[in-house]
Structure 1
Amino acid sequence: MADKTEERHASWLELFFDLTVVAAAAQISHRLHGAQSVGQIAACAAMYYAIWSVWTTTSVYANVAGEKTRRRAVLRTMLGIAIMAAAVPGVFPELGEHHGPDSRTKVFVVAFILCRAVASRSAARDGQVVAFWPATQSIAATPWLVSLLVPEPWNYALWGLAIAIDLLFSMFGARSPRWVEQETARARARQERDNERQASRLSELIRRGVAPEQLPNPKPTLVSVAQVEQGHLNERLGLFVIIVLGEALAQVVAANTDLEWTRGVVVASLAGFFILVQLWQLTTLYGFTPAPVNAKPLEPWQALPAHLGVTAAMVSIATGLGALVPEATEHVHAQDRWYLFGGILMYLLTSVFAGIAGKSPLKWFLAWVLPCVLVAVAGGVFGGHVPGWLLALAAYAVLAWFASYNQLVKR
């Protein structure tokens, strides 16, 4: 009988590393609660991307490094994410409730760049070329740094430009054999320079008369194109989704702590809980990409942007639920409605991307996705005329129908 390869799971180090995501998601969600303009919401979205990208590049590095994962590198990026999360309330203070010189924007940007550099350097030292997600190898740091020196709104535009470069470089670079060849050649050139420096140092030690047993014995690092551990990567991305769902649940619970439990509040809270149940159910059915896949699993360059869309949508939904419960018997403010229904809409549109990439059946697009999109848009546009508890029920109905595909198709 052939030996079965043991399936790899997340390590204790990786699970410990994930704890920083809890703090980061909470800070972003709280900052969204106080947002008063499109610029503020865009700044929150950019901060979420920065935190997500640090987590992703570190997780991708651990995926390819396996047992050789450098613990210090992971712990350093963990500290970096914690610093970024702590800096979130003070990033662009002119956008928040408190205006003052205590801006932590520079701390956030520098921590982000350093964290990304740690992951890139760790992969390079291991001789790994991460072709399936090139963002692990480098970062477009210049727009982030220049954004600290220019006035608004140009600083926000530079953040957006850096994010667009990052995503496009990763998605198109992963599909380019030429990029893989070039990056492999650069990695080999770097390794040759390192070997020359080590040989020069060894010669210098010999010239000084160092005893042979005291001479260092460096092991050569072989440059190779890293292969993704698909099962491990899917598990890591799924765990991130569960963490974000946990923050959403915390929002619903926190909204109830100081409220009188009227009928409307109870209905809205229960609907919020079951909305999260449906999101969890969709995650268990389809993984972190909310679409039935008939062909082979999505490639990383497809799956990772979908994961970004899904988790950002969940943060938005969490913010909407946290604001809707206190307004359960009133007309919900337009911004809070769009946090909820806009988040659902983003979730659905991400599923369209995943469904097209995974060749999902046409009937799923027409009978499940399209009606849900229309109801979500209607909730955001016309929801100001109905109380919050009814909006919560409508949001639950959208996700319940969306999740019903698997059960109904099997009959």
Structure 2
Amino acid sequence: MNKNWWRSPILRVGEDHEQRRATWLELFYDLVFVVAIAELAHNLSQDVSWWGLISFVALFVPIWWCWLGATFYATLFDTDDLGDRLLTLLQMMIIAALSVNVHHGLSTSSLGFGITYVAARTILIIQYLIAGYYIPQARPLTNWYIKGFSLSMLFWLISLLVPTPWRFGFWTLGLMLEFITPLGTGHLAAQITPNLYHVPERLGLFTIIVLGESFAAVVKGVTEKQWDTSSLLVAGFGMSIAFSFWWLYFDSVDGSPLETMKTGKMGIFITWLYSHLFLAMGLAATGVGVKHLITNSAVTLLPVNERWLFCGAVTVCLLILAVINLTTCILEKNRLGRILSFYRLGAAGFVLCLAIAGTMLSPVILTTLVATACLVTVALDLFGTTQQGS
């Protein structure tokens, strides 16, 4: 920690800190999101229906956005002094309160969820105000974020005064405004580019967190029923699916989409960045789907909603992995990268067909087929990479 109790924010431009890694404070901060994701997954597991899925997505988005906002502020301005640490502790307490309100976030706890979200975003706005005050070079960028996020908070504050379901309409407007705010920073981001190593590492760490939740769901599914051959097979194949996702993601992701920011072109970067939101939701939902398959591993036919949850989540993951891989290799015009993306798309199409036509498939057979599709994609990825290197 910096020996001073407090110091003004410093601008961390990408080229100045090429080997920058996540700090211990950032890793500690991530722990509270482990709890938040676990609560979201628990909610979805308790209600595998269209409404349960809508609730899962609706509450996942603002939680992920809170994490991303803190991450991007830290990659540009963090100081790790006493003030920074205490402010991080306050943010963690607010996210914990946000997690408490997840269980009934679209019903009786919607007011509490809205209040805690406003509190979390208010802290970020204050941080940008401080950074802009002390760093004139960054002021155009920080002012842009402050205006966009403050206007979004206006919608959230209005939502606290109106009943449901109108409240959720204002939430949606607020989130839409926040998500489009970075699109207008092209010329500003060209001058202040986030760290090319730090941002991909932070996104990768969040992906690991969600993958960990998938493994936890598998273990919980097995412990909640008597072990037998079918449940162990489903659990094993479920873990292999998570391993396949890990392989496909970390063998392709890097910071190359950030390079587009230097030219003021935000489209590729934003696509790459926001794809991680859908990947995180897909990974968490896949874990829930595997857990339910383990629970129903002995049945002949899987309930329709649980088949669609599992296959739909895996399909989303494979589609997003294709997009992330494509945006990563697009600058280098890497032909192999495009081919590997099409392999992922092919696997996604196969799993989607299983969701549509797999009405007669048992949980064991369904999991086996999905796991095989993922493992074949990994094998094709490995073969293509090996061929390119030879």
TM-score range, shorter chain: 0.7 to 0.9
Q: What is the CA-CA distance between 1:322 and the residue it aligns to?
A: 1.3
Q: 1:295, CA displacement in angstroms?
A: 11
Change (3 A) 1:335 1:121: same
Which residue is 1:111 aligned to?
A: 116
State the shift of 1:230 in Å: 1.7
* Post-superposition CA distance 1:19-48 (Å, at most 9, x none): 011101100001111225433322221211
Equivalent of residue 126 in structure 1, options 131, 135, 139: 131
What is the match of residue 280 of structure 1?
246
Q: 2:87 aligns with which of 73, 94, 105?
A: 73
**Which residue identity does 1:12 align to in structure 2?**
W
Kindly state the Cα deviation for residue 5 of structure 1 after the two structures are TM-superposed. 6.3
Question: Aligned equivalents of 1:6 and 1:356: distance in 2?
Answer: 24
| Alpha-carbon RMSD | 2.9
Q: Secondary structure at the match of 1:115?
A: helix
AA partner of residue 142 (structure 1): L
Task: Determine the C-alpha separation between the residues in 1 that align with 2:94 and 2:320.
Answer: 29
Query: SS at the partner of 2:19?
Result: coil
> What residue is the counterpart of 1:309 in the other structure?
278
Match of 1:208 in 2: none
SS where residue 169 of structure 1 aligns? Answer: helix
Provide closer, same or farther for how the CA distance between residues 250 and 132 of structure 1 changes in structure 2, counting only shifts above 3 A.
farther
1:317·1:339 contact (CA, 8 Å) conserved in 2? yes
Matched, 1:262 2:238: no
How far, CA to CA, are the matches of 2:210 and 2:319 in structure 1? 19
8 Å CA contact 2:326–2:341 kept in 1: the answer is: no
Q: TM-score, normalised by structure 2?
A: 0.80
State which of 299, 306, 325 in structure 1 corresponds to 2:294.
325
In structure 2, the CA distance between the partners of 1:294 and 1:163, relative to structure 1 (3 Å rule), is closer
Query: Alpha carbons of 1:159 and 1:394: their partners in 2 closer, same or farther (altered >3 Å)?
Result: farther
CA contact (8 A) 1:131 1:173 kept: no
Structure 1: gaps spanning 5 or more residues? 94-102, 182-223
C-alpha distance in structure 2 between counterparts of 1:226 and 1:288, whole Å: 19
Deviation at 1:259, TM superposition (A): 1.4
Tell me whether 1:12 sits opposite 2:24 in the alignment.
yes
In structure 1, what is the Cα distance between the partners aligned to 2:142 and 2:348?
31
Equivalent residue, structure 2, for 1:84: 98
Q: Partners in 1 of 2:122 and 2:271 — Cα distance?
A: 23
1:138 maps to what in 2? Answer: 149
Preserved contact between residue 57 and residue 135 of structure 1 (Cα < 8 Å): no
Partner of 1:348: 318
Q: Give distance in 2, aligned partners of 1:294 and 1:105.
A: 36
The 3 A distance-change label for structure 1 pair 228 and 25 is same
Which of 197, 200, 206 in structure 2 is aligned with 1:231? 197
Q: Matches of 1:329 and 1:130 in 2, distance apart? A: 60
Q: 2 CA distance for matches of 1:148 and 1:408?
A: 54
Alignment of 1:26-105 (within 5 A): 26-35=38-47, 37-67=49-79, 70-93=84-107, 103-105=108-110
* Equivalent position of 2:367 in the other structure: 392
Alpha-carbon spacing, 1:379–1:160, altered in 2? closer, same or farther (3 Å): farther
| Corresponding residue SS for 2:103 | helix
The answer for the alignment partner of 1:402 in structure 2 is 377
Deviation of 1:157 after TM superposition, in Å, equals 3.7
- Distance of 1:275 and 1:56 partners within structure 2: 26
Question: Structure 1 residue 168: deviation in Å?
Answer: 2.4
Q: Distance in 1 between matches of 2:30 and 2:244?
A: 23
Structure-1 separation of matches of 2:251 and 2:260: 13
SS of equivalent to 1:384: coil
CA shift, 1:237, in A, is 0.9
SS in 2 for 1:404: helix
Is the Cα contact below 8 Å between 1:328 and 1:388 reproduced in 2?
yes
Deviation at 1:151, TM superposition (A): 4.9
User: What is the aligned counterpart of 1:25 among 37, 43, 66?
Assistant: 37
The Cα offsets for residues 148-197 of structure 1, whole Å up to 9 and x where unpaired, read as 44455444443333333322232x2233x3xx49xxxxxxxxxxxxxxxx
Identity of aligned residues (%): 22
State the TM-score, normalizing by the size of structure 1.
Answer: 0.77
Q: Which amino acid aligns with 1:112?
A: Y
The 1:129/1:251 distance shift into structure 2, 3 A limit, reads farther
Larger radius of gyration: 1
The answer to whether the Cα contact below 8 Å between 2:131 and 2:142 also exists between their aligned partners in 1 is: no
For the 8 Å contact 1:73–1:119, the answer to whether it is kept is no
